[in-house]
């Protein structure tokens, strides 16, 4: 990787050790002791103000978590590059604080940035090995604004290669995993940022959204993610996918954190003329505009035909419906809305395929030193992940910027805008609400099926906020989307803030728990003895793997059955794992999130059944 030498210098370690391992060892050996898991920006800022922790110590603490969980443990693979100067940058900000200067709520706060944002001191690859080592001369607009606000760029995150997809796989780093279930994808294309923020690798992060690339990772990682009104903030310095649909913005664990980052990154930029449209519309402060009573009197339109109609859509749809009911219970008026013709208008309204080739060409033309200068060159060199081949070739086959396909897409996009505008006005609603995706995150390697509602905001240019709605029975996050008229970000955020305060939908992923002495927590053990049965269990809280060794000393084969049950409130709970049907058995299994939570609560018990009847023993897990 391009950052090998820089990281070695920053942490004072041998260049002979692989780069990722060097970073892990250095971070684990750092002075970090402050627990950053799930800490909000306000909490971190208060701790620094009280001298409980320094910015440098925060950086070290986040680096230790990256070391423990990015390439080890659940192997999230969220990070592409770590900033070798992050500790020094944090120390400089600590010195500023000591001198009496605090720039604002982001002073000294570590954040991550999607690797399609230009950074003057770190490579910008877009997830493509074709851009290995590519380093633009200046920061992207939003990155510069973050630095000016005092944020520390701790590193850059993986993305679906060149942002062309929604599962986050790239030729530079491979597949990123979902921290709630590492067998599933984290969404995309900003999936590296989504996974990193969910796993507390940083306080918040930046992503980009052309058709769901902020909102889908937010939904899949139990986060808040905003696609603002086109023109709210600049796209300057973001590798483009589609100039008429691209938007950059924040992902965060709370609505307040998102508002803090939004305050720092919006604004007029002469290098992106569309930002002129935002003049007079941007809030003085999105954070200060948050109101906890926003649900009282709010009027929301639940768009029936964006929930999906297949049986497989019920699971995710029910989570969103329950969240909508919770908003009704807090004072919101919910209107049932069906927008006739919307699905037909949405089909073919995306201009990604027809603009990508030419927008990438224009971006690379500004950098003579870039390793490649066109999508065609990337294809010719074979410098792309196999999963991107069909889409890249399809875009490269477009001959003209003004193609018939492009004109048809623009026409359909105008039709979508008319339909959505009419629905908002006729129903007199503050926002439309519907699932971000109608189904939970797909397993890695499987296609994303069901309703993907990303194009509603992308085609209209209207703001859309992904809000954590809740979890499926097996512990996978589901997100709901709030879409409002142009420049209503403050209203959307306030509605989300009121919902968040009432329901508290955020839950940390079990695969990335708090570190113990700078390392992953040790395995837990439990032992049980019931009549002739002896059993020992070892549970790894990071991977969720449960190993067992069970024996029945005097049982005939098949005469004794031993199983782990999940306790229920008013009756014996169901079997989650049969561990013995004979005289002896060993094995291991990865527990589902719902069963990991039951284990943590002490709600698992061992049941022994034989001709004599049933006996049971509660399983209490303790560190080895």
pLDDT single digits (tens) 4-54: 333 333 333 333 334 444 444 444 444 558 999 999 999 999 999 999 999
Looking at residue 609, what is its pLDDT?
86
Residue 20 has a pLDDT of 45
Residues 6+ apart with CB under 8 A from 348: 408, 409, 412
Residue 210 · residue 114 · CB < 8 Å: no
Q: Give the per-residue pLDDT at 492.
A: 98
Identified catalytic residue from 189, 208, 349, 526 = 189
* CA dihedral sign, ordered 237, 240, 243, 249: negative
The number of residues making up the chain comes to 624
Per-residue pLDDT, 570: 64
CA atoms of 148 and 101, how far apart (whole Å)? 13
pTM of the model: 0.92
Which residue of the set 39, 114, 357, 412 is catalytic? 114
Q: Which listed residue (213, 242, 349, 466) is catalytic?
A: 213
Q: How far is CA 512 from CA 36, 67, 72, 266, 394, in A?
A: 12, 11, 11, 32, 39
**DSSP helix/strand/coil, 41:** helix
| Adjacent-strand bridge partners of 110 | 152
In the chain, helix, strand, coil percent, each to 5?
35, 20, 45
Give the Cα separation of 239 and 217 in Å (integer): 19
Q: What angle do CA 323, 327, 331 make, to 5 degrees?
A: 165
Residue 114: active-site member? yes
What pLDDT is attached to residue 75? 97
Residue 24's alpha-carbon distances to 88, 95, 121, 429, in angstroms, are: 18, 26, 21, 50
Low-confidence stretches of the chain (pLDDT < 70) are 1-32, 554-558, 570-571
- In order of 57, 59, 62, 125, 267, the CA distances from 32 in angstroms are 5, 8, 8, 30, 35
pLDDT of residue 558: 56
Return left, alpha or beta for 601; rule: phi > 0 is left, psi -120 to 50 is alpha, else beta.
alpha
Question: What structural domains and CATH numbers belong to the chain?
Answer: 4-352+384-396+403-503 (3.90.1300.10), 524-623 (2.60.40)
- For position 330, what pLDDT does the model report? 97
Residues contacting residue 276 through CB under 8 Å, at least 6 positions apart: 231, 268
Measured torsion, CA atoms of residues 192, 196, 198, 199, in degrees rounded to the nearest 10: 140
Pairing assessment for the beta strands 204-209 and 110-114 based on DSSP bridges? parallel
| Whole-number pLDDT of residue 581 | 73
């Amino acid at each position: 990787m391009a950052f090998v030498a820089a990281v070695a210098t920053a942490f004072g370690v041998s260049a002979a050790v692989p780069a990722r391992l060097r970073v892990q060892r250095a971070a684990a050996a750092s002075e970090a002791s402050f627990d950053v898991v799930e800490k909000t920006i306000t909490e971190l800022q208060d701790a620094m103000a009280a001298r409980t922790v320094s910015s440098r110590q925060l950086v070290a603490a986040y680096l230790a978590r990256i070391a423990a969980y990015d390439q080890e443990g659940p192997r999230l693979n969220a990070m592409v590059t770590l900033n070798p100067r992050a500790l020094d940058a944090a120390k400089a900000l600590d010195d500023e604080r000591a001198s009496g200067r605090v720039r604002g709520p982001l002073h000294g706060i570590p954040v991550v940035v999607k690797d399609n944002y230009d950074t003057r001191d770190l490579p910008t690859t877009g997830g493509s090995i074709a851009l290995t080592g590519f380093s633009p001369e200046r920061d992207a607009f939003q990155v510069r604004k973050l630095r000016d606000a005092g944020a520390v760029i701790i590193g850059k995150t993986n993305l679906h290669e060149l942002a062309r997809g929604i599962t986050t796989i790239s030729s530079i780093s491979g597949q990123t995993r979902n921290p709630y279930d590492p067998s599933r994808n984290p969404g995309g294309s900003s999936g590296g940022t989504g996974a990193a923020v969910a796993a507390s690798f940083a306080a918040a992060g930046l992503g980009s959204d052309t058709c769901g690339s902020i909102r889908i990772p937010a939904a899949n990682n139990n986060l808040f993610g905003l696609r603002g009104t086109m023109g709210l903030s600049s796209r300057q310095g973001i590798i483009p996918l589609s100039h008429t649909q691209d938007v950059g913005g924040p992902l965060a664990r709370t609505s307040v954190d998102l508002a803090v980052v939004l305050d720092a990154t919006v604004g007029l930029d002469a290098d992106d003329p569309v930002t002129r449209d935002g003049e007079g519309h941007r809030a003085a402060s999105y954070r200060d505009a948050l109101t906890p009573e926003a649900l009282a009197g709010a009027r929301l339109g639940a768009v029936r035909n964006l929930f999906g109609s297949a049986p497989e859509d019920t699971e995710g749809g029910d989570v969103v419906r329950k969240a909508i009911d919770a908003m009704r219970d807090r004072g919101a008026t919910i209107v049932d809305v069906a927008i006739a013709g919307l699905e037909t208008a949405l089909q073919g309204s995306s201009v990604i395929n027809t603009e990508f080739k030419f927008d990438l060409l224009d971006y690379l033309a500004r950098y003579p030193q870039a390793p490649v200068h066109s999508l065609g060159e990337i294809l010719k060199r074979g410098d792309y992940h196999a999963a991107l081949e069909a889409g890249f070739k399809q875009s490269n086959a477009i001959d003209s910027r003004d193609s018939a396909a492009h004109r048809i897409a623009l026409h359909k996009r105008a039709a979508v805008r008319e339909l959505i505008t009419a629905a908002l006005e006729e129903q007199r609603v503050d926002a439309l609400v519907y699932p971000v995706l109608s189904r939970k995150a797909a397993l890695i390697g499987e296609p994303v099926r069901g309703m993907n509602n990303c194009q509603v905001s992308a085609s209209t240019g209207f703001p859309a906020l992904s809000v954590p709605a809740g979890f499926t029975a097996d512990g996978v996050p589901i997100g709901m989307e709030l879409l409002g008229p142009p420049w209503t970000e403050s209203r959307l955020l306030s509605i989300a803030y009121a919902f968040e305060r009432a329901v508290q939908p955020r839950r940390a992923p079990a695969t990335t728990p708090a570190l113990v002495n700078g390392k992953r927590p040790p395995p837990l053990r439990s032992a049980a003895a019931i009549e002739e049965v002896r059993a020992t269990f070892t549970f790894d809280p990071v991977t969720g793997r449960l190993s067992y060794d069970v024996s029945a000393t005097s049982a005939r084969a098949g005469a004794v059955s031993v199983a782990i049950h999940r306790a229920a409130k008013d009756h014996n709970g169901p079997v989650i794992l049969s561990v013995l049907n004979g005289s002896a058995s060993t094995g291991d299994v990865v527990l589902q999130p719902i069963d990991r939570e039951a284990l943590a609560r002490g709600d698992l018990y061992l049941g022994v059944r034989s001709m004599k009847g049933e006996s049971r023993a509660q399983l209490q897990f303790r560190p080895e």
